A and B are shown apart, each in its own frame.
Chain A
Amino acid sequence: MATSNSRTLARLMLFPSVVLLLAWMLVPLCMTLYFSFLDYNLLTPGNNAFIGFLNYEFFLTDPAFFASFFNTILLVGGVLLITLGGGIGLAILLDQAIWGRNYVRIMVLAPFFVMPTVSALVWKNMLMNPVNGLFAHFATWLGMSPIDFFAQIPLLSIIIIVSWQWLPFAALILLTSIQSLDREQLDAADLDGAGPFSKFYYIVLPHLSRAITAVILIETIFLLSIFAEILVTTSGGPGYESTNITYLIYTQSLLQFDVGGGSAGGIVAVIIANIVAIFLMRLIGKNLED
């Protein structure tokens, strides 16, 4: 459809969104870029000298950067792996004929609605606390010594918490997708003598690929900037063991007031995110838009 009239109108109506997003993206980004070349510390005002790439040099050679870079990858990858694997399993299970499926659905979905600060606090104090936590009680009852989650396995603990938050999302999207699978395909496969595994591999999995793509895309967007869970539980520690890039930059700029260093970090984070974004966009470009 479309006449030149409606095309003009369309441009007009797109304008606010595009301009706002462009401003939201470009203005702060340019400022960040500018700050990243300055010796700019909020504690020592007035001395904002241009120092070239020094901030980047400091940031990129800081061992904390490598630690947090790998932590970010582990965090995103780990959560994706758990939620996708668990999600597919749950989706297949919930797709079976069971009693009370609606209640099961409601229970499974619930963690998605819990705000990150709450779920972090609940897990940290009531479940994972090495003295009073439920897991500790349970371990003691079994005669084992309780694990001090945030001291011994801080990153894994955070991965577990975040996976708990995102598993419902993955499971429900995959379940919806499985339910749209044409049952006749499975019947045909039955007639062709396919076992449950080949049915899953050749029919269910390919059918799920669009949904899996969507899950990867959306989760990655949110997981790259995990913040509250770390702030509330470990504050990035011990050392840098559970610091991701988001949290590292936060500590640099807002806790140490090093605007220049934090900005350099921010730009690095943007570049990393862009690489991921390009990769992801390719993926959805292929998979989502037919």
Chain B
Amino acid sequence: MGSINLKQVTKDFGDVSVIKPIDLAIKDGEFIVFVGPSGCGKSTLLRMIAGLEDTTSGNIEIDGQDATDTPPAKRGLAMVFQSYALYPHMSVRNNIAFPLKRAKVSKAEIEKKIASVTKTLNLSDYLDRKPGQLSGGQRQRVAIGRAIVRQPSAFLFDEPLSNLDASLRVNMRLEISELHKTLATTMIYVTHDQVEAMTMADRIAVFNAGIIEQVGSPLELYNTPVNKFVAGFIGSPKMNFIAVEPTATDATCCLGIRPEHITISTTSGTWPGKVGVIEHLGSETFLHVHVEGKATFTVKAGGDCPYVYGDNIYLSAVENKMLHFDAAGITLPQQHASLVAI
């Protein structure tokens, strides 16, 4: 069991309001990712769910019970911290046993659980080492082991991968996803990395300046972002934005087109441009194309892209893939690209 309900939850630090009223229902067994730029309040909200921060107003319900004022130890949640927060003076075994000892689990039972957890996480050979003698990835696994061993109703992850190097990050991402599939326990995962969000989440909540801009599945957010912020935040490389003049019949102030929705031609197209820096990734290529009067476009092309720096080319948008935003950045419903006056 691990449903979590946020009802009109807010948080003020003195006069500064860091979480504006938030409503969010997290279903049992769901993997939800809080994503957003730093300082958007995502970590604060996670810590409020954990009970490490007070809630200024509103209610937090865990499994249908009001837990707003319950101390962290009594909420039945487990947390994995950015710095792992392992107990440096304890062996791996004792780190993992710590929550069980606090819960007064019998010695034999503790041994059994440690054995099974460390086997799952490939830590069996390191049981008697101290955290200081482990690599970053191993520490991360111990932190996860400490969290899963007590079978919490939900896991809270606070940017757990940001201290790992790139290749390890990809591995751990997979391991955590795998873990979620096997445990089927609710997971709330905070990150500023939209790739992590896209790859791991059942649902993503995009945070910005203390509010949730949009909640939805990764593809929902990708295909139908509600506003320019979400459109720009989700997707890598970023969506291209083109400022346009609104007309009497069309309130569009800005157009958005993703790099993979642009076609390149040497003869004709909507926007004439000059090829700038080219990034070859092997499987694909990113071209930065300078368009006269419209700033720089990022364009995704195939791995065997023939263009070189300085080439003159033409860019066009794939039909029906262009997003329209009004002056406030809200996505407009119309999708008829043909009307666009460039």
> What distance in Å separates the Cβ of B182 from its nearest Cβ neighbour in chain A?
32
Q: What is the CA–CA distance of A2 and B51 in the complex, to the nearest angstrom?
A: 9
Q: What is the CA–CA distance of A1 and B48 in the complex, to the nearest angstrom?
A: 10
Interface membership of chain B positions 87-114, coded 1 if the CB is closer than 8 angstroms to chain A and 0 otherwise: 0000000000000000000000000000
Pairwise interchain contact B71-A1, C-beta atoms closer than 8 A = no
Q: Check if A5 is an interface residue, CB within 8 A of chain B.
A: yes
Q: Check if B23 is an interface residue, CB within 8 A of chain A.
A: no
Q: Check if A96 is an interface residue, CB within 8 A of chain B.
A: no
Chain A interface residue number, banded:
under 10
> What distance in Å separates the Cβ of B164 from its nearest Cβ neighbour in chain A?
24
Q: Check if A4 is an interface residue, CB within 8 A of chain B.
A: yes
Which A1-60 residues sit within 8 Å CB-CB of chain B? Answer: 1-5
Q: What is the CA–CA distance of A71 and B262 in the complex, to the nearest angstrom?
A: 86
Residues of the A chain whose Cβ atoms lie less than 8 Å from the Cβ of B54: 2-4
Pairwise interchain contact A5-B71, C-beta atoms closer than 8 A = yes
Residues of the B chain whose Cβ atoms lie less than 8 Å from the Cβ of A2: 53-54
Residues of the A chain whose Cβ atoms lie less than 8 Å from the Cβ of B47: 1
Which A250-289 residues sit within 8 Å CB-CB of chain B? Answer: none
Q: What is the CA–CA distance of A1 and B47 in the complex, to the nearest angstrom?
A: 9
Report the nearest A residue to B55, measured CB to CB: A3
Q: What is the CA–CA distance of A4 and B47 in the complex, to the nearest angstrom?
A: 14
Q: What is the CA–CA distance of A9 and B302 in the complex, to the nearest angstrom?
A: 61
> What distance in Å separates the Cβ of B265 from its nearest Cβ neighbour in chain A?
53
Q: What is the CA–CA distance of A5 and B71 in the complex, to the nearest angstrom?
A: 8
Q: Check if B52 is an interface residue, CB within 8 A of chain A.
A: yes
Report the nearest A residue to B52, measured CB to CB: A1
Q: What is the CA–CA distance of A4 and B54 in the complex, to the nearest angstrom?
A: 7
Chain B interface residue number, banded:
under 10
Interface membership of chain B positions 299-333, coded 1 if the CB is closer than 8 angstroms to chain A and 0 otherwise: 00000000000000000000000000000000000
Residues of the A chain whose Cβ atoms lie less than 8 Å from the Cβ of B71: 3, 5
> What distance in Å separates the Cβ of B82 from its nearest Cβ neighbour in chain A?
14
Q: What is the CA–CA distance of A3 and B60 in the complex, to the nearest angstrom?
A: 15
> What distance in Å separates the Cβ of B222 from its nearest Cβ neighbour in chain A?
35
Interface membership of chain B positions 28-62, coded 1 if the CB is closer than 8 angstroms to chain A and 0 otherwise: 00000000000000000001000111100000000
> What distance in Å separates the Cβ of A11 from its nearest Cβ neighbour in chain B?
15
Report the nearest B residue to A4, measured CB to CB: B54
Q: What is the CA–CA distance of A4 and B52 in the complex, to the nearest angstrom?
A: 10
> What distance in Å separates the Cβ of A9 from its nearest Cβ neighbour in chain B?
10
Q: What is the CA–CA distance of A3 and B11 in the complex, to the nearest angstrom?
A: 12
Q: What is the CA–CA distance of A1 and B53 in the complex, to the nearest angstrom?
A: 6
Q: What is the CA–CA distance of A3 and B53 in the complex, to the nearest angstrom?
A: 5
Report the nearest A residue to B47, measured CB to CB: A1
Q: What is the CA–CA distance of A1 and B54 in the complex, to the nearest angstrom?
A: 9
Q: What is the CA–CA distance of A2 and B71 in the complex, to the nearest angstrom?
A: 11
Residues of the B chain whose Cβ atoms lie less than 8 Å from the Cβ of A3: 51-54, 71
**Chain A CB within 10 A, most for which of B51, B54, B71:** B54
Q: What is the CA–CA distance of A2 and B52 in the complex, to the nearest angstrom?
A: 7
Q: What is the CA–CA distance of A3 and B13 in the complex, to the nearest angstrom?
A: 12
Report the nearest A residue to B71, measured CB to CB: A5
Q: What is the CA–CA distance of A4 and B56 in the complex, to the nearest angstrom?
A: 10
Q: What is the CA–CA distance of A2 and B47 in the complex, to the nearest angstrom?
A: 10
Which A185-201 residues sit within 8 Å CB-CB of chain B? Answer: none
Report the nearest A residue to B51, measured CB to CB: A3
Residues of the B chain whose Cβ atoms lie less than 8 Å from the Cβ of A1: 47, 52-53
Q: What is the CA–CA distance of A191 and B120 in the complex, to the nearest angstrom?
A: 56
> What distance in Å separates the Cβ of A5 from its nearest Cβ neighbour in chain B?
6
Q: What is the CA–CA distance of A5 and B75 in the complex, to the nearest angstrom?
A: 14
Q: What is the CA–CA distance of A5 and B53 in the complex, to the nearest angstrom?
A: 10
Report the nearest A residue to B48, measured CB to CB: A3
Residues of the A chain whose Cβ atoms lie less than 8 Å from the Cβ of B51: 3
> What distance in Å separates the Cβ of B4 from its nearest Cβ neighbour in chain A?
18
Report the nearest A residue to B72, measured CB to CB: A3
> What distance in Å separates the Cβ of B16 from its nearest Cβ neighbour in chain A?
15
Q: What is the CA–CA distance of A5 and B47 in the complex, to the nearest angstrom?
A: 14
Residues of the B chain whose Cβ atoms lie less than 8 Å from the Cβ of A5: 71
**Chain B CB within 10 A, most for which of A1, A3, A4, A5:** A3
Residues of the B chain whose Cβ atoms lie less than 8 Å from the Cβ of A4: 54
Q: What is the CA–CA distance of A4 and B51 in the complex, to the nearest angstrom?
A: 11
> What distance in Å separates the Cβ of A123 from its nearest Cβ neighbour in chain B?
45
Residues of the A chain whose Cβ atoms lie less than 8 Å from the Cβ of B52: 1, 3
> What distance in Å separates the Cβ of B2 from its nearest Cβ neighbour in chain A?
22
> What distance in Å separates the Cβ of B158 from its nearest Cβ neighbour in chain A?
13
Which B250-309 residues sit within 8 Å CB-CB of chain A? Answer: none
> What distance in Å separates the Cβ of A67 from its nearest Cβ neighbour in chain B?
53
Residues of the A chain whose Cβ atoms lie less than 8 Å from the Cβ of B53: 1-3
> What distance in Å separates the Cβ of A125 from its nearest Cβ neighbour in chain B?
50
Q: What is the CA–CA distance of A4 and B72 in the complex, to the nearest angstrom?
A: 12
Which A65-103 residues sit within 8 Å CB-CB of chain B? Answer: none
Q: What is the CA–CA distance of A191 and B71 in the complex, to the nearest angstrom?
A: 58
Q: What is the CA–CA distance of A30 and B71 in the complex, to the nearest angstrom?
A: 43
Report the nearest A residue to B53, measured CB to CB: A3
> What distance in Å separates the Cβ of A229 from its nearest Cβ neighbour in chain B?
43
> What distance in Å separates the Cβ of A18 from its nearest Cβ neighbour in chain B?
24
Report the nearest B residue to A1, measured CB to CB: B52
Name 9 interchain pairs, CB-CB below 8 A, sorted by A: A1-B52, A1-B53, A2-B53, A2-B54, A3-B51, A3-B52, A3-B53, A3-B71, A5-B71
Chain A residues within 8 Å of B, Cβ to Cβ:
1-5
Which are the 7 A-B pairs with shortest beta-carbon distances?
A3-B54, A4-B54, A5-B71, A1-B52, A3-B53, A3-B52, A3-B51
**With A2-B53, A3-B51, A3-B54 given, can you name 7 additional A-B contacts, CB distance below 8 Å?**
A1-B47, A1-B53, A2-B54, A3-B52, A3-B71, A4-B54, A5-B71
